[in-house]
Structures are given as C-alpha cells and as structure tokens.
Structure 1
Amino acid sequence: MIQLIVNADDLGSGPERDRGIFRCFEQGIVTSVSLLANGPHFAEAACEAVRLGMPLGVHLNLSEGRALTGVIAGLTDAAGEFPGKADLRRILAGGDFDAAGARRELAAQLDRVRQAGIVPDHLDSHQHFILFPAATGLVTDLARAEGINALRRPLPAEDPRRDPPPPLGDELVLYRRLAPAASAQIDASALFAPQGLWGMTLLDRLDKQALSALLEEMPDGVWELMVHPGYCDLGRPFSGPERLRETLALTNPCMSQLIREKNIFLTTFGACACAF
C-alpha cells in the first residue's frame, strides 16, 4: 500500500503563488500545505486557508525575509533580516549564532500561525535547514514542546543515480550527506515522519510527464511528495513559469486517475500522526 502526502510549500509568499496552491488543493491532488509565518502575504493566505479547511503545517524559516522576534545575534542583520540561503548554511555549519534566539523565533512563527486560527499538523523547514546538526534539535525540541506530532523527513527518496546536474545536483549531494543523521534524530524524537521525501530532484522541473513517472515508480510505504505550485508572481522570487507547469500537472485529471489505478491513498500529516 502507498500512502502519500502531497505537500505544497511556501503558502504566504505572494498572491499568485498562493492562488495556485489553493487551486491545487481544491481541484488537484495536493492534500497538505506549509505556511510561511513571516511571508509577505501571510495574513491573506491564512484567512483563505482557514476558510477552505486546509490541513496546514508551519514552513519554519530562518533564511528569507525578516525575523518576527527582531535581531538574532549571528543570524540576522541589524534590521532583523535573515541572511539568505547560502549564508544561512554557512552560519549553521559554523554554529556561531544565538541558538536560543533562533529557537524563540521558530516558536514565534508557530505561535503566529496558531493566532490566525490554524491548528498546524506538522513542521517543516524552508530550504531544508533542519538538515544541519545545529538546527535539527531546535526543530525536534520545538515540536515536542508545542505538541506538534509530525515532521517532514528531508531524506531524498529518488535514486541518487538520477540526480540532475549542478546546481541542483550539488544541492542534492549536500542533502544526501546530511539527511541520515537528521533522519536518525527525527526518529529518536518519537515524532511521526514519512519514510522519505519525493520531489527534491524535480525542483523547477515537475511537469505532467515527470509527475506521472514519479507516481508510477513509487513503492509501497508512507511518503511525502513536496511540490511548489503557483501562478507567475512578477517581481517575487521563485515565482516563474515553472510554478504554472506544476499547477497544471497537479490539477490534471489524469493524475487523479493514475492515483486510483496505482491504489495510492492520499493522506495528510495529521492523519498519519494519529495512526503512528
């Protein structure tokens, strides 16, 4: 039996990205969504997600935008702005930052989501920062302390021989190197996490053909498929035409038919954690 959580990341990042995510939830195969608590479109996205009754997690973020709690020594600049993906990885690898301040920020992001009337069913991390040893414990400890029973396991499920060329290929080398230790720590936390994460190798390349092939090859187990649908959001990062291709693939009626033929059971983090 295949149980599959199809999770759309980055809700709250912009109106057109959000519109595509909502469409994929209402008309496609998306079953779960991750919300950016410090995203520029957070308030509007949270309101619509509540109206739709979306299963939601918190897309914890230490790399983009402004911290909700202000300046964090060694992590933000003097205005409280996060450092971006590359610099965050350098900081986490070095470990020279205010870990307690980062923990407070993550708790504040979770609290903001709850204050919007949402009961989150899982935590995951923007740009997979949980993979770094300096951050893994921050997230697992937060989940346990706050009664969140499920986490994303950022362990690439695809065969590494099929990894794409750089720059994404270089990212996957990093993910595959760090993922085993992070995965073991997640298991030690006694929290639910799927067996692995599909879609990491298909970033910006998930179209109808690629999605069909992925669903065809997926083995038995409990898995998560990470997706990034949306419409083009001019002037905003990560909002180009590849987002529309994902939206069209995820809402294509052929995908629902293939899922039925493969006896794939679409589910959520909350449902899986309850059965864990």
Structure 2
Amino acid sequence: MARSIIFNADDLGIHPTTDQAILLAFKEGIISSATLLMTTPFTEQAADLAISANLPIGIHLSLTLGKPVAAQNENSELQDNLGWMSRTPAFFFKKLLFLEHRKRLVPQIAAEFSAQLAKAADLGIKPTHVDSHQHVHMARGIMPILEELLPYYGLRKIRLTREPLWSARLAGKAGIWDRRNGIKGAAIYFSNSKPRSLVTPDHFFGLYHSGVLNEERLLGILQKLPANSTSEVGFHPGKSIVDNVYPQPNVNAFIASSERETEFATATSSRVKQFLKDQRINTISFREL
C-alpha cells in the first residue's frame, strides 16, 4: 500500500518574491522539489539560493517566457523583435501537429533546450529531472527531442503531464474554465506525447488545478492516490507583487495574483502535513524516483 509523492514548485526564477515563497515552502511546508527557469533575469540568483538550501532542482524548460539562451538568427520563430520568447503555448501545440511546421521548428527547439541545459550545468546545477513552462514539452514532436537530448546531459527523468479526469472534477469550474486549464488538458491529450525511454512518476496532478490548488482540492487528490504508486503534484506558490518584468501582461498578472498566495498557503498547510503523516504517504523528490 506504499504511496510516495513529489510536491514540485514550478517557476523557480520567475521573480524573487516567488523564489522566496518556494524556499520557505520547502523549509517549512511540503514542497520537496522545484524546477528552475533558465531564461529569466533572476535565474542565477535563484540557482544560488536553491543550491544553498539543498533544494532538489529540476529544469523548467521554456519556450514561452523570458529570453532564449541559444543564439537566434533573423529567421528564428522562438523570439519576438525585442528578443523575448512571447509565443503562447497554443502556438506550439497547434503548429507542431503538422509535419511541415515540425521540420522547421524542431531544430530551433532542440538547440534552445540544449542551451538551457548547458546553462544549468554552467551554474553548477545537477538537475534531478525536467519539465516545462506551461507544459510545452508535451506538444507533438518535442518529447523525441528530449529523449535524445537528456541522456547527453546525464538526465533520464521527466514530468509526464497527463492528469486523471477525476482530478478535473475536483478542480471544478474555477480550474477547468475560469483558468482555461481544461483547454490545456485537451491540447496535451491530442498531442499524444509519451516518453519511451525516460522515467516518470506513475501519476501527475496539478494541470487542472493550476492557480486554484487550495487545501481542500489537494486533500481531495491525496485521499484518492492509488496504492503502490508514485505521484507528482505541480505547485505554483508565491507572494503576490506588482512588477511588470515581462512583456506578457498575463505573466505579470499571475506573478501578482492572489492565486499564488493560495497555493503557498496550501503548500505550508499544517492540515495537509498532518494528513500525509496520518496516511503514511512518503514525500520524496525526483532524486528518489
């Protein structure tokens, strides 16, 4: 009946206030892992803090936030005319369905992901795994890139963003429609991306709950964890602050939103910690997977 769970905080490096919240939730709460963006102005600072805290760090690969790490030419489709990666996830999920676009985009994505992983190594990070900002690694044609690329960097573990439909019911209207998480779930389902040679937890939760993962919803997930399984829950904890760092208004709004405060409260909830203890659910990181 053994059950193990990874509580991963996404978006490490997106903003210093978010980083502080993640580290506090690791120290005092249930967070057991975090994934770090390589593409933001705060990457190096966040890396130093996480390494000092002995926080298990994965890489939060990005195509939709920050500035590319790899050198770009005038034909690049990954950056705008100001040098930002401002594409939406929908761009990649739609374009990569078609072979003609995959032939053009896949080499650009492979070069960028390789540069991000190389940067992590240069920063002294020994990543536990990878996932991606807004789950773009689940778009068609990207998983084969990572199956070839990750072993080169000594990596073999990855998030598989496929969430059970019963979890969507727990997320309710707030998660599925108000936060448009249902659309993301449908896009991932139709992309049909599954790794053949990489290691993943048995289950993932958090896509449908992004921005709405309160205490009750998390307890609902934990109560239904399958026996003899390892699961991952994706979190977005933070402390809200108004700071227009990025060109995308929606990104700045999410940094500033009370939704991050809600997820921080969930990640530090004494009730959740007691439930894990009472139910003998083991909290692990990707190191132990």
The alignment's TM-score, normalised by the length of structure 2, stands at: 0.86
Residue in structure 2 matched with residue 76 of structure 1 by the alignment? 79
| Distance in 1 separating the partners of 2:138 and 2:109 | 15
Deviations 1:4-63 (Å, cap 9, x if unpaired)?
111000000001111111111111001010000112211111110010011010000011
Taking a change above 3 Å as real, the CA distance of residues 111 and 161 of structure 1, as seen in their structure-2 partners, is closer
Residue in structure 1 matched with residue 249 of structure 2 by the alignment? none
Residue in structure 2 matched with residue 35 of structure 1 by the alignment? 36
| Distance in 2 separating the partners of 1:258 and 1:233 | 31
Is 1:138 equivalent to 2:155 in the alignment? no
Deviations 1:74-93 (Å, cap 9, x if unpaired)?
33334442232233333333
Aligned counterpart in structure 2 of residue 198 of structure 1, from 197, 205, 217:
205
Residue in structure 2 matched with residue 270 of structure 1 by the alignment? 287
Taking a change above 3 Å as real, the CA distance of residues 100 and 237 of structure 1, as seen in their structure-2 partners, is same
Is 1:91 equivalent to 2:99 in the alignment? no
Taking a change above 3 Å as real, the CA distance of residues 158 and 39 of structure 1, as seen in their structure-2 partners, is farther
Q: Contact 1:71 / 1:79 at 8 angstroms: preserved in 2?
A: no
Deviation of the 1:237 alpha carbon:
3.8
Deviations 1:176-207 (Å, cap 9, x if unpaired)?
333xx312xx1x21x21011211111111111
* Most deviating of 46-55 and 60-69: 60-69
| Distance in 2 separating the partners of 1:210 and 1:160 | 9
Q: Contact 2:68 / 2:78 at 8 angstroms: preserved in 1?
A: no
Q: Percent identity?
A: 26
| Unaligned residue ranges in structure 2 (runs of 5+) | 244-251
Aligned residue type for 1:88: F
| Distance in 2 separating the partners of 1:157 and 1:27 | 29
Aligned residue type for 1:93: L
Residue in structure 1 matched with residue 241 of structure 2 by the alignment? 233
Is 1:58 equivalent to 2:59 in the alignment? yes
Aligned residue type for 1:48: L
Deviation of the 1:259 alpha carbon:
0.3
Deviations 1:155-193 (Å, cap 9, x if unpaired)?
113427626443222222222333xx312xx1x21x210
Structural RMSD (CA): 1.8
Q: Contact 2:78 / 2:108 at 8 angstroms: preserved in 1?
A: no
Residue in structure 2 matched with residue 182 of structure 1 by the alignment? 193
Residue in structure 2 matched with residue 251 of structure 1 by the alignment? 268
The alignment's TM-score, normalised by the length of structure 1, stands at: 0.90
| Distance in 2 separating the partners of 1:75 and 1:37 | 15
| Unaligned residue ranges in structure 1 (runs of 5+) | none
Q: Contact 2:237 / 2:264 at 8 angstroms: preserved in 1?
A: yes
Aligned residue type for 2:254: F
Count of matched residue pairs? 266
Is 1:5 equivalent to 2:16 in the alignment? no
Q: Contact 1:74 / 1:91 at 8 angstroms: preserved in 2?
A: no
| Distance in 2 separating the partners of 1:82 and 1:115 | 22
Find the residue that maps to 1:62 and give its secondary structure: coil
Residue in structure 2 matched with residue 150 of structure 1 by the alignment? 157
